[in-house]
Amino acid sequence: MSIQSNLNTIKSSLPEHVTLVAVSKTKPVPDLMEAYNAGQRIFGENKIQEMVDKYEEMPKDIQWHMIGHVQSNKVKFMAPFVSLIHGVDSLKLLEQINKHALKNNRTIDCLLQIYIAEEESKFGLDEKELNELLSSPEFKEMKNIRILGLMGMATFTEDQNQIKKEFTLLKSIFDSIKELKAENCDLKTISMGMSGDYKLAIECGSTMVRIGSSIFGGR
Ligand SMILES: *Cc1c(COP(=O)(O)O)cnc(C)c1O
């Protein structure tokens, strides 16, 4: 199957309120261009340097999403252009993003990553840490970031009930904060679901899916 037909198949299966992030990490620019020429404009990368290189080579109407774990000292490289940072999991990182957004005279949209899996390796905040972050005075002072919602990754397992439980948890945490009124929050996005589990994620309330291998093939 071609990238274009994979993309069309997936897009036609998504409800209107769900945004598709085409996860293009490790794939070469010609593959991304095939998706671009088929109409895709949102791409997700998990390494900052790779995203910067692709940004420089590719058309400027692409929205670049950083979906990987972000090190504070690398924020400056993507601050001029990144469209959405999915994996924000600390106040310290948010401070760096705010600082570099200000330097670039812009506001950077972010999602807070919530830990929902049963694996040690996955990053993210728990519900208590999320609430502490959102109610901290430092957070309220940040004028150059905007929190659009939450992101989570389910456990890598075949057990659909387990995955469903984790997605449902993320949705319920989102529902518990979504009425929050703050200048730097516009809570409307739940980024959950990948190639293997995006249909389940949408059933559980996802509004943004991050799909790589089902579009571009295995890595
Ligand atoms: C790689 C990656 C994806 C996409 O995974 P696929 O299984 O290839 O669809 C989604 N989200 C994150 C955070 C990733 O690192």
Q: What CATH number has the domain bearing residue 18? A: 3.20.20.10
Judge whether 189 and 149 are in contact, CB under 8 Å.
yes
In the reported structure, the alpha carbon of residue 76 is separated from the centroid of ligand 1 by a whole-number distance in angstroms of 24
> pTM of the entire structure?
0.97
Which tens digits make up the pLDDT trace of 12-66?
999 999 999 999 999 999 999 999 999 999 999 999 999 999 999 999 999 999 9
User: Which residue segment(s) compose the domain that 53 sits in?
Assistant: 3-214
Residue 219 lies in a domain: no
Which tens digits make up the pLDDT trace of 195-217?
999 999 999 999 999 999 999 99
Judge whether 126 and 115 are in contact, CB under 8 Å.
yes
Amino acid at 96: Q
Judge whether 56 and 77 are in contact, CB under 8 Å.
no
Nearest CA to ligand 1 atom 7: 195
State the DSSP code for 125.
B
Residue 141 lies in a domain: yes
Number of domains the chain contains: 1
Judge whether 135 and 98 are in contact, CB under 8 Å.
no
Residue 70 lies in a domain: yes
Instruction: List the alpha helices (DSSP H) in the chain.
Output: 3-13, 29-37, 48-57, 75-78, 91-103, 127-135, 137-141, 160-177, 198-203, 213-216
Cβ < 6 Å from ligand 1: which residues?
23, 25, 46, 67-68, 153, 194-196, 210-214
In the reported structure, the alpha carbon of residue 140 is separated from the centroid of ligand 1 by a whole-number distance in angstroms of 31
- Positive/negative CA dihedral, 109, 209, 167, 27: negative
